[in-house]
């Protein structure tokens, strides 16, 4: 399953009573203050979905790196936060969207240590290692969309029964 396949909102993930789905939420990324809001919201939703503390920290770290990339390299944009359900599995999809210059060389951009700005060059590759699924779409001159998905640990993925 890819990030685009699991789109069912999670029933009850937003409250203790189980009253309704968590709808996708979009947050603007236009300033350093917005980065703090993104981190806070990702941690909140991850906790509501049952992610453990270590998983929450990984998600928040990935979100922070990708939000900063959206701001610095994409000139700002937004993040869409969506709770997911795939049978018994629960997860979280984060889509970082900008309309900046795009990424000219994706392979180079994913290389640890490469940065087109003054950073350490660990954002994209580091974020990819912290999540279960990672997708990057870009067109030079038209921006980029980086989508990541993490699944709550402890629930095994669905298995296909063996053929008889």
pLDDT of residue 74: 93
**Averaged pLDDT for residues 129-134:** 95
DSSP 110-154: TSTT--SSSS-S-HHHHHHHHSSEEEEEE-TTS-EEEEEEEE-TT
Other CB atoms within 10 Å distance of the CB of residue 151: 21
pLDDT of residue 68: 94
The CATH number covering residue 100 comes to 3.30.565.10
Whether 159 maps to a domain, the answer reads no
Whether 124 maps to a domain, the answer reads yes
Whether 14 maps to a domain, the answer reads no
Provide the number of structural domains found in the chain: 1
Q: What is the pLDDT of residues 32-75, one digit of tens each?
A: 999 999 999 999 999 999 999 999 999 999 999 999 999 998 99
Query: Which element (helix H / strand E) includes 55?
Result: helix 53-72
> In the predicted model, is pLDDT for residue 159 greater than 70?
no
pTM reported for the whole predicted model:
0.77
Whether 7 maps to a domain, the answer reads no
Whether 162 maps to a domain, the answer reads no
Q: In DSSP terms, which residues pair with 133 in a beta bridge?
A: 149
**Structural domain of 127:** 25-151
Whether 53 maps to a domain, the answer reads yes
| Sheet bearing 144-151, strands edge to edge | 25-29, 77-86, 89-98, 144-151, 133-138
Whether 3 maps to a domain, the answer reads no
Whether 17 maps to a domain, the answer reads no
């Amino acid at each position: 399953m890819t990030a685009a396949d699991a789109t069912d909102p999670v029933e009850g993930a937003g409250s203790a009573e189980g009253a309704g789905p968590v709808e996708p939420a979009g947050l603007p990324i236009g300033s350093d203050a917005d980065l703090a809001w993104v981190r806070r919201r990702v941690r909140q939703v991850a906790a509501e979905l049952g992610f453990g503390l270590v998983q929450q920290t990984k998600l928040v770290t990935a979100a922070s790196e990708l939000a900063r990339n959206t701001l610095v390299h994409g000139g700002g944009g937004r993040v869409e936060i969506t709770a997911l359900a795939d049978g018994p599995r629960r997860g979280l999809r984060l889509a970082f969207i900008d309309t900046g210059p795009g990424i000219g060389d994706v392979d180079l951009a994913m290389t640890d240590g490469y940065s087109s700005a003054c950073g350490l060059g660990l954002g994209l590759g580091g974020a990819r290692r912290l999540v279960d699924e990672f997708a990057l779409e870009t067109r030079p001159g038209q921006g980029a969309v980086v989508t990541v998905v993490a699944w709550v640990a402890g629930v095994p993925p669905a298995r296909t029964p063996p053929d008889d």
